[in-house]
Structure 1
C-alpha cells in the first residue's frame, strides 16, 4: 500500500541535518524527494566521517546516511543562470520546497520565496535558519551546539557545579536540529492541508532558536511560573523523585518512579517498606522537598544488587527501571528487534546499507523504505528527463555547460 504522501513532490535544497531530517520524514511518508546538491561536493555531511559505508568506489558517511534515505540526488550548480532556470522549473513541478540557506542567501540567485512563488503560487516553501527571517539575530549563522547554549538547554544539562564532571553539557545528538526538522515536517503537513482546502501555498519560517526554546517544555514553564532558574541535576528530575541513575553492584541503572504507587512498590522490592510510610516520602511533592534525605537511602539499597537482579525485581513489582544500554545492547534488545527498528537497504552496488526505521506505524498506509541514501548525482539524468521532459540531446547540451558538474 502506498504511503500517505504518495504523489507529493519535494524539492530539497537543504543540507546538514535539520532540513534533511524533515525531508527524509517526508520521503518515508511516500513523497518523492529530489535532493539538489553541489556538483562534485554535495551535502557537507557526505565527508563528515569516519565512519564511512563503503559503497563501491564512493564511500558514504554514516552521518549523511542518517538523514538522506529515500531521496533522489541531483547535482545542479545554481550559481549559474542555467542552473537557476532548472531549479525554477523543478520548483514549478513540485508541491514543497525546503531550504536552509542564510536569510536572503537564495535571493541573489532568484530562488527566494517571492521569486519562486511567481512561478508556482501553490508551492509550500519552508525556510530553516538559525534565528528566523526576522529579529536582530536573523543574519547570524546558527549551529546546533550554539543554539543548545543560547536556547537554555545546556544550562539544565549536566552535573551540578561542584560535582565530579560538573558544568553545562550539550546533549549527545544534535537535538535542536532534529526537533527543528520534526517541527518543520509538522508545519509542512499543516500547510498541505491548508492547500488542499484553499489551493494556497505559503512560506514557513522555521528557526532553530525558536524550536529550542519551545522544547524546554516543563523546564521553561517551571521558570515562568516560579521565576527561579532551573538547576542542573545530572540524570535527576526537577519535579519527580526518585527519577535518576543509580550505581548498582556491577554498574549503573535508571530508576524512573513516576507516582506514589510505584514508589511504594519500589520500597517493598527494596526491602524498606518503612521508607514508603515515612510522612516525608509518601507523596511526590514531599519526596522532591526531601530529595537529599531520600536519595542516599535509595542509592544504598540499589548498590546491594546487580543491574540484572534489579531489572528482574522491578519488573516483578511493576516499577519502571532499566539498564544503561550501549548501542550494541540497544540493537540487540528484543523489543527493538520486534518493532523492526533496524533496517537493511540495498545500496546502488547491491550491498546492504544499515538504517534506522521511522518510528511512525500506520494501520492503513505504509512507511516507505525503497531507496538507500543516494550517491552524489545518481539521479540527475532520470529526474531531468522524467520531471522536466529534457531530451537526451538537450541533456548533452546542459552537461556541456558544466551546470550539472
Structure 2
C-alpha cells in the first residue's frame, strides 16, 4: 500500500543529482515525507539501475532492479547532460524554482561544470544545497583525504565501526547493511530539513555538508568517550556490550536470540524464569556492575539455559517481560505480523510486470501528514524537464498569489 495523502514536506521541490546509495537514501527520505523529488540523470542513468537484482520473468527492458527501486521510490526522473551548455542552462532554470539540490559527486565536480553552490545561490539565494562525500567538502574544512574516493566499507573502517565489530579477539567486520552510506544519508536529510526551515524564516539558503567518515564516527560515539575517559582503544566484543550485562545474542536449540537484561528488574525476572532466583541476590551478579565483572559466568549460565530451549519457547517465556527478540531472517520478517501492521513491507508496481515487488516501508510515522512510499521508482527520463519546470513555475505563482477577497472568512 502506498500513500495518497500529502506528507509534511508537501510543496518542497528537490533536484536530486545523487547516485548509488548514500545520496539516494537522503532524497528517498525526503520523497517519503512528501517532497517532489526529481532525479536529474545522465543518459546512462544512475549506475544502480543495472545492478539488480531482477526477478526471473521480469521484462529486462522495463523492470527496475531491487537496489534502484528500493531507494528511488516515489521520485521522478529527467535526463540532462550537465556538461553541455543546454543541459546546464535547463538545470539552472529548474534551480530558480527549486528549494533543494542534493549531490554526492566527488569534490570539485559541480564546480568544474559551473554549477557549484555559489553559482546556484546566484540564481536562487534561497536554495539549500546538500552535499555528501566520503570526507566532506572544503567549505567546512579541507580534509587531508579530500581527493580520496570512498564507499560504505571505507567509511565503516575509518569511522571506527569495523574496529569494534566482530568476534572477541577476532578480525574487524563491517555491518551487513550499508550503514556507511545509510547513516550519512539520514543525517544529510536532517541537515537539509533544518536548512529549509532556516530558508523559510530568513530567505537565506545555505550549503549543508556531510562526510561519510564523520557520520560513522558520530555513530560510534562510545569509542570516543571510552578513549577519553579510560585511555583505551575499544576492540570487537562479539555480541556483548562493554558496559551492560547480560546484553548479547546467543544460540538456542534451533536458532539465535537477543537477550538484554542489564537492569536489576529484568535480571530478576530472567533468573526467576530460568529457575535460578537465587542469582538475583548473589553478590557476584546482583548489580549490572557485578555482572560486567563476571560476564563470562553470566554468559555461561544464560547460555546453558537457552541451549536447552527452542527460540519459540524462549520467546513464549520471556516475550513482553524482558527485552528479547529472535534473530530474524528475511523470511521471518515477511511472516511477522508487526511489519505488515506497521506498513514496513510495501508493494510497488514493477514496470513490465503485472506482479508487484516488495520494498521496505518508511519507519517515520505521523498522525496527520503521512510519511510513506509514494510509488515506484522512475524509469530513466520518464518525465521531461520542460514539464517539470512548467509545473514548478506554476506552483510558485500559486504560492505567491494573494488570497481571494473574503477567503479569510471561509471555513
TM-score in terms of structure 1 length:
0.90
Which residues in structure 2 correspond to 1:46-125 (within 5 Å)? 46-52=49-55, 54=58, 57-125=61-129
Structure 2 contact 252–309 (Cα < 8 Å) conserved: yes
> Which is further off, 176-185 or 339-348?
339-348
Structure 2 contact 63–353 (Cα < 8 Å) conserved: no
Q: Indicate the residue corresponding to 1:263 in structure 2.
A: 267
Distance 1:258 1:359 in 2: 27
Confirm whether residue 44 of structure 1 aligns to residue 47 of structure 2.
yes
Secondary structure of 2:72 counterpart: coil
Confirm whether residue 170 of structure 1 aligns to residue 174 of structure 2.
yes
Structure 2 contact 362–372 (Cα < 8 Å) conserved: no
- The offset of 1:44, in angstroms, is 0.9
- The offset of 1:255, in angstroms, is 1.1
CA shift digits 1:9-51 (9 cap, x unpaired):
0000111111111111111111110101110x21111122334
Which residues in structure 2 correspond to 1:324-363 (within 5 Å)? 324-349=327-352, 351=354, 352-363=356-367
Cα 1:56–1:143 shift into 2, 3 Å:
closer
Structure 1 vs Structure 2 CA RMSD: 1.7
1:302 pairs, out of 278, 282, 306, with 306
CA shift digits 1:250-276 (9 cap, x unpaired):
222211213111011101101111222
Cα 1:33–1:55 shift into 2, 3 Å:
farther
- The offset of 1:139, in angstroms, is 1.6
- The offset of 1:112, in angstroms, is 0.6
- The offset of 1:220, in angstroms, is 2.7
- The offset of 1:216, in angstroms, is 0.5
Gaps of 5+ in 1: 390-405
Confirm whether residue 144 of structure 1 aligns to residue 152 of structure 2.
yes
2:388 pairs, out of 374, 383, 394, with 383
CA shift digits 1:188-215 (9 cap, x unpaired):
1111111111110001111101101111
CA shift digits 1:132-176 (9 cap, x unpaired):
112211121111101111111001011022xxxx31110001102
Structure 2 contact 361–372 (Cα < 8 Å) conserved: no
Cα 1:168–1:51 shift into 2, 3 Å:
farther
Distance 1:79 1:355 in 2: 34
> Which is further off, 354-363 or 375-384?
375-384
CA shift digits 1:271-325 (9 cap, x unpaired):
1112222101100011111112221111112112111111111127x11212111
Secondary structure of 1:310 counterpart: helix
Distance 1:179 1:189 in 2: 16
Distance 2:195 2:25 in 1: 18
Confirm whether residue 135 of structure 1 aligns to residue 143 of structure 2.
yes
Distance 1:224 1:49 in 2: 44
- The offset of 1:384, in angstroms, is 5.0
- The offset of 1:349, in angstroms, is 4.6
1:371 pairs, out of 370, 375, 398, with 375
Confirm whether residue 160 of structure 1 aligns to residue 168 of structure 2.
yes
Secondary structure of 2:319 counterpart: helix
Secondary structure of 2:71 counterpart: coil
Distance 1:293 1:216 in 2: 28
- The offset of 1:218, in angstroms, is 2.5
Structure 1 contact 45–64 (Cα < 8 Å) conserved: yes
Distance 1:281 1:258 in 2: 10
- The offset of 1:387, in angstroms, is 4.2
Cα 1:123–1:384 shift into 2, 3 Å:
closer
Confirm whether residue 13 of structure 1 aligns to residue 13 of structure 2.
no
Structure 1 contact 28–368 (Cα < 8 Å) conserved: yes
Secondary structure of 1:128 counterpart: strand
Structure 1 contact 254–323 (Cα < 8 Å) conserved: yes
Distance 2:172 2:372 in 1: 39
Q: Indicate the residue corresponding to 2:30 in structure 1.
A: 26
Count of residues in Structure 1 that have an aligned counterpart in Structure 2: 383
Which residues in structure 2 correspond to 1:149-228 (within 5 Å)? 149-161=157-169, 166-228=170-232
